[in-house]
Structure 1
Amino acid sequence: MKIVHVVEPFASGIAVFVKTLVETMSEDVHIIIHGERAEVTPFIQVKQQFRQSNVRFIRWRSAQRSISFQKDSAAFFELYTILRRLKRKNLVDAVHLHSSKSGFIGRAVCNVLNIKNVIYTPNGAPFLVGTSGLSNFIYKQLEKFGDLLGGRVVCSSESEMDAYKKLGINASFVNNGIETAAFTTRKPANSTKLPGQFRIVTSGRIIDQKHPELFNQIAEYFRDFTQFEFIWIGDGPDKQLLYNKNISITGWLSHETVHDIVVSADLYLSTARFEGLPFAVIEALALKKPVLLTDCVGNRDLVKNGLNGNLYNTSDEAIIKILQYYNNNDMLEIMGNHSASYCDEDFNMHTSYIQYKCYYKSPISGIVQ
């Protein structure tokens, strides 16, 4: 099959998602039409992660994050030109749209070009993004209108699917997945953690969606306890909000180095306001880490009955759980083993992403969950 991916932004978790689809369906041809967010990850660095011979890249130069009638119109006509050319060359069996901007513009273009086999994966419901009720209302209306243009909404987690169904949009879901064997067989690197130190880590871009203020607030309680260490792996425009002395910000690191730090940690902490289904947390599960996650869309799919961690709603709840983990250190290994088992069962790309193959082949009667 010839699968066309339309991606804006082509960075972070979405890049991992597309890369995993390409690896899982190695016998198919993947054409990636992409924007670029150089301030997050330059395209050249993203491209280096795609080592397969079955992938081609086409730059979508006018695609950008913010809503702008003029710029979005330019992005529409550019994408129209690209997809029309590919369709004429018989290079479009299915179109997979990734994230809300690609989803809206892409469905409009496919509607005009009469391309029927279209899948839209939000990777984080946009109507949960807004910092005000008005912005969320606008995003909801845009999602409803986009749904009228055609295509199938396939979310990356069950809780994200539920959010769309509450909006009146018919949706299904396929869990994000990773190559779990590559993590479970991984040997720990030499750790810089001091004896008796309790290391708490998170990973991702330091932006409002990840709620760095909450991370800082939790760390503040422990600032006079030298045995507690907080590490934020990543960088971003809101890093000034992580000002407590017991927080270290690493900046962007290689995947291997990120995994080394997570392996050395006692606990993976997420303070996100919402997620699609975060790869950083899935990888932490595979690396046998207990997880403490905000009770939000995307996160709540990754905690199983408290066996591998817990959900929380306030900083006080998180602090109490951290103290419980610290005072019951033996249970962390048990919870970590549950994490790895749960990850292999539910977030293994070889069993999860094969469902996309069914959607690509059968857009009308595909899998309904």
Structure 2
Amino acid sequence: MKVIHVVESFAAGVLHFVVQLTHALPEYEHVVIHGERPDTPSHYVELFPLGVTLLPWKRVTRDISPISDILALYHLMRLLKQHKGDVIHLHSSKAGFLGRVAAKLLGLPTRVLYTPHGAAFLRQDVSPTKLSLFIWLEKLGNWCAGQVIACSASEAAAFQRYGIPADYINNGVECAKRPATPPTQTDTYCTIVVAGRISQQKNPALFNEIALAFLDQPHVRFVWIGDGELRHLLTAPNIHCTGWVEPPEVTAHLQQATIYLSTSLWEGLPLSALQAMCQGLPLVLSECTGHVDIVQVGRNGYLFKHTNEAIEILSELSKNNAFCFSLGTISQTLQKKNFNIQRMVESYKMLYI
């Protein structure tokens, strides 16, 4: 079995997803056709297992650019003709569109799967006109070829609302070990953490606004694990930004945290939040696609719609580390049951066959 992965967004969660999948399916031959972004790690080759073929995808960009997109489509078609596979697995919106058009133009008999990882039409940082264009492109791509396999039920439902058939396989992660000892009420700090690229999608302005509300509570501190183009928005003195760190250090920060907070505007199903669940953290997440799938309100965390609601929830949780641990224990149980890598991989294997 030969699987051709096509991915423009070769960084952060999407990169981690493809790396996980290639490691978990060593019995398959993997070819990864990939773009590069400013936050693509320089050592990305070392992340993949030996035997994976990595092919740079020329001229592909995140944003719509007619000339670049036509050139990227031409290059992708050349690569797909040179490297024939049994399955083409497209990751993220740009690869999803160009990959399905390429499959249609080439008349490939290959099985084509498309995992959006946060569909472009879910974005809240673009105009209604552009959102309408994204929806139209998704419909055109669906007509060309392939099957939409969203990474959460809520993302699949978003496609279905626009008349695009979609199924889903929950994202899953492999967990590092969690410390067995619960925190005590005498713990000095409440550490509220998030992990990911500091981008518009993650809404760092809201994260900063929430942190500012706790300036008079020195026992509450905030940590952003990651970096990005909007780092300058994190001005609150009680926020520590780690910059980009290796996965073991991400795990270490999560293990030292009390609460996982995400202010994202939209998601597919965030791997960073699943990793937080692995480490037994309660979740306090904005109510959006991808987040609603992993929070059982009052059991492993809370969802919020407004800033004041988030501040109120965090204020209550920050006073009770033992309750946070109790919520986090359920987070860990839910992750093991519904969002583990074994379940995800077995589901993709069934589709690949």
Normalising to structure 2: TM-score of the pair? 0.95
1:21 to partner: Cα distance: 1.2
Check 1:186–1:221 CA distance in 2 against 1; reply closer, same or farther (3 A cut). closer
What is the CA–CA distance in structure 2 between the aligned matches of 1:77 and 1:314, rounded to whole Å? 45
| Superposed counterparts of 1:116-127, under 5 Å | 116=109, 117-127=111-121
SS in 2 for 1:48: helix
**Residue 163 (str. 1) matches residue 158 (str. 2):** yes
Contact 1:176–1:353 under 8 Å retained in 2: no
Q: Which residue of 1 aligns with 2:18?
A: 18
What is the CA–CA distance in structure 2 between the aligned matches of 1:341 and 1:201, rounded to whole Å? 20
Per-residue CA deviation, residues 95-147 of structure 1 (Å, 9 max, x unaligned), is: 00000110111001111112241001100010011422122111111111111
1:23 is aligned with what amino acid?
A: H
Note the residue ranges of structure 1 that are not aligned, 5 or more in a row.
Answer: 189-193, 362-369
Per-residue CA deviation, residues 158-180 of structure 1 (Å, 9 max, x unaligned), is: 00000000011000000111123
Contact 1:28–1:54 under 8 Å retained in 2: no
Note the residue ranges of structure 2 that are not aligned, 5 or more in a row.
Answer: 181-185
1:328 to partner: Cα distance: 2.8
Contact 1:27–1:54 under 8 Å retained in 2: no
Contact 1:235–1:252 under 8 Å retained in 2: yes
What is the CA–CA distance in structure 2 between the aligned matches of 1:204 and 1:315, rounded to whole Å? 20
What is the CA–CA distance in structure 2 between the aligned matches of 1:238 and 1:53, rounded to whole Å? 35
What is the CA–CA distance in structure 1 between the aligned matches of 2:76 and 2:171, rounded to whole Å? 26
From 275, 278, 282, the equivalent of 2:270 is: 278
What is the CA–CA distance in structure 1 between the aligned matches of 2:45 and 2:172, rounded to whole Å? 20
Q: Percent identity?
A: 38
2:285 is aligned with what amino acid?
A: L
Contact 1:174–1:353 under 8 Å retained in 2: no
**Residue 114 (str. 1) matches residue 107 (str. 2):** yes
From 73, 79, 103, the equivalent of 1:76 is: 73
What is the CA–CA distance in structure 2 between the aligned matches of 1:299 and 1:46, rounded to whole Å? 28
Q: Which residue of 1 aligns with 2:232?
A: 240
Q: Which residue of 2 aligns with 1:349?
A: 341
Q: Which residue of 2 aligns with 1:325?
A: 317
Report the count of equivalent residues: 348
What is the CA–CA distance in structure 2 between the aligned matches of 1:170 and 1:225, rounded to whole Å? 49
What is the CA–CA distance in structure 2 between the aligned matches of 1:69 and 1:329, rounded to whole Å? 52
1:195 to partner: Cα distance: 4.8
Check 1:187–1:322 CA distance in 2 against 1; reply closer, same or farther (3 A cut). closer
Per-residue CA deviation, residues 24-45 of structure 1 (Å, 9 max, x unaligned), is: 21111111011111x2123x42
From 109, 122, 132, the equivalent of 1:128 is: 122
1:250 to partner: Cα distance: 1.1
1:279 to partner: Cα distance: 0.6
Contact 2:11–2:39 under 8 Å retained in 1: yes
1:59 to partner: Cα distance: 1.0
SS in 2 for 1:327: coil
**Residue 3 (str. 1) matches residue 3 (str. 2):** yes
Contact 1:266–1:289 under 8 Å retained in 2: yes
Contact 2:297–2:303 under 8 Å retained in 1: no
What is the CA–CA distance in structure 1 between the aligned matches of 2:266 and 2:348, rounded to whole Å? 24
1:288 is aligned with what amino acid?
A: G
Q: Which residue of 2 aligns with 1:96?
A: 89
Q: Which residue of 2 aligns with 1:301?
A: 293
From 209, 213, 227, the equivalent of 1:217 is: 209
Q: Which residue of 2 aligns with 1:35?
A: 35
